[in-house]
Copies of this chain bind each other. A is one copy, B any other.
Amino acid sequence: MTKSVFYHAGCPVCVSAEQDIVSLIGSDKVEIVHLGEQKSRIDEAESKGVKSVPALLTPSGNVLHLNFGASISDVKG
Binding site for B on A (CB under 8 A): 4, 16-17, 20-21, 23-25, 29, 58-60, 62, 64-68
- A60 to B23, Cβ gap below 8 A? yes
Chain B residues whose C-beta falls within 8 Å of the C-beta of A59 in the assembled complex = 23-24
Distance from A28 Cβ to chain B, minimum over Cβ atoms (Å) = 13
| CB-contact partner of A62 in B4, B20, B65, under 8 A | B20
A58: nearest chain-B partner, CB-CB: B20
**Could you tell me the distance between the alpha carbons of A24 and B1 in the complex, rounded to whole angstroms?**
13
Which residue of B has the minimal Cβ distance to A17? B64
| Cα–Cα, bound, A25→B24 (Å) | 6
Count chain B CB atoms within 10 A of each CB in A16, A25, A67, A68 and give the residue with the most. Answer: A67
